[in-house]
Amino acid sequence: MPLTPSEKQNLVEEYRSGLAVAPHAFILGFQGVSVPQVTELRAKVRETGAHYIVVKNRLVRRAIEDAALAALGEHFQGPTAIAYCDEDPVALAKVLADFAKDVPVMSFKAGLVEGRAVAGSEITEIAKLPSREELIAKLLYLLQSPITRFARVLAALPRQFVTVLDQVRQEKEKTT
């Protein structure tokens, strides 16, 4: 059933308000993926705070003309879906890569991370990165580690001094 011009305009506006402003997006080929599988994927993508939509290629190209996603315009061919988010592209990439392992007919066409284009093959590499929370925890550990060691050294000096004084006292008591 063909879309009316007003429906097409509504779709273009919907794409423009979501996709055109998203800093992270992954373009997927989903030919051969069943409806229950897509429903499962949508639920997993929503859990990460992201969105998954199946797009009309011509309309999405029109909607993203002036956006960073326009650099990936040649990938909008055939059945195309886009998963996009504002926050954590690694979490989204992990969900998509895990799903692609279970459903090998799904393919990664290309992506956009922090406004930069990435090849479809790089999306699985992005999925292997630690999550944002893990990176922050590692950074805090690295920042805190020298300070903690310094504090231990400073605390050890008086303790060692007291130990030496106690040993001197014991030696004096033995000699007297």
Domain, as residue range, for 29: 5-129
* Tens digits of residue pLDDT in 1-51: 678 888 888 888 888 888 778 889 999 998 888 999 999 999 999 999 999
Q: How far apart are CA 68 and CA 19, in angstroms?
A: 10
Question: Are residues 157 and 118 part of one domain?
Answer: no
**156 vs 97, more confident:** 97
Question: Are residues 67 and 27 part of one domain?
Answer: yes
Question: Are residues 120 and 45 part of one domain?
Answer: yes
Global pTM?
0.73
Average pLDDT, the chain: 88
Q: How many domains does the chain have?
A: 2
Question: Are residues 144 and 162 part of one domain?
Answer: yes
Question: Are residues 151 and 123 part of one domain?
Answer: no
Question: Are residues 122 and 149 part of one domain?
Answer: no
> Which of 61, 62, 66, 54 has the alpha carbon at shortest distance from 29?
54
